[in-house]
Amino acid sequence: MIKSLLSKFRSLKEFYVKIFAVFFALITPFIMVTSGEVLGSISQYWGTQYQPLFIMSNVICSYFFFSLKNWKIPSLCLLLVTAFNHYQFNILHNIFAVSFYFACLYSLYQNNRFILYRILFVFSMVLYPYSIILGEVTSIVILCSHHLRVILYKEKLNKLRNNNNNN
């Protein structure tokens, strides 16, 4: 019984940590953009007072991605985007940023459910030539929506499974 309670507490804690990571990633670009100065890309906020927010958001996101099946490559790419900032390592940073985008797309294709997010993510590419930051924010919203949906879906399945086991 104690093991069962500890297991439920651990999964509940994990659930809230993942929800926090998704919402933190979701609000970060909006905090930056609504600061009064809209820059060309999210990476350009490295040179502003939002550098710690940029780093924390990417590290938390990367940690979250690393905990998920099929999201290890995007996790590594996001860490490398953060480690090699836009100002000092422009070419490397851009290579890792593009790699992150396509690694996310690949990971979305690994999930046979929730195909809508995959389609929306592909369509977000149309925005990048017009405005990189608009494309990035749109992609982030789509990724966060996808991950929130998956987290809630898994939590619902876990509750159903637990209810069936208790009956």
Confidence class of residue 157 from pLDDT cuts 50, 70 and 90? confident
Confidence class of residue 143 from pLDDT cuts 50, 70 and 90? very high
CA terminus-to-terminus distance, the chain: 15
pLDDT tens track for 19-56: 999 999 999 999 999 987 899 999 999 989 999 999 99
Tell me, what's the pLDDT at 6? 44
Contact 117, 108 (CB under 8 A): yes
Give the tokens for residue 20. 């926090």
Q: Please calculate the CA angle 81-108-24 and round it to the nearest 5 degrees.
A: 55
Contact 136, 41 (CB under 8 A): yes
Mean pLDDT of all residues in 133-143: 96
Tell me, what's the pLDDT at 113? 83
Return the higher-pLDDT residue of 1 and 127.
Answer: 127
Owning domain of residue 14:
2-166
Tell me, what's the pLDDT at 155? 86
Q: Please calculate the CA angle 67-68-74 and round it to the nearest 5 degrees.
A: 95
Q: How many Cα atoms are found within 13 Å in the side-chain-facing hemisphere of 71?
A: 17
Return the higher-pLDDT residue of 11 and 48.
Answer: 48
Q: Is the pLDDT of residue 106 over 50?
A: yes
Tell me, what's the pLDDT at 112? 85
Contact 142, 124 (CB under 8 A): yes
Long-range contacts of 45-49 (CB under 8 A, 24+ apart): 46/85, 46/86, 46/87, 47/86, 47/87
3-state secondary structure of 129: coil
Domain count, the chain: 1
**Mean pLDDT for the chain overall:** 89
Confidence class of residue 158 from pLDDT cuts 50, 70 and 90? confident
Contact 84, 41 (CB under 8 A): no
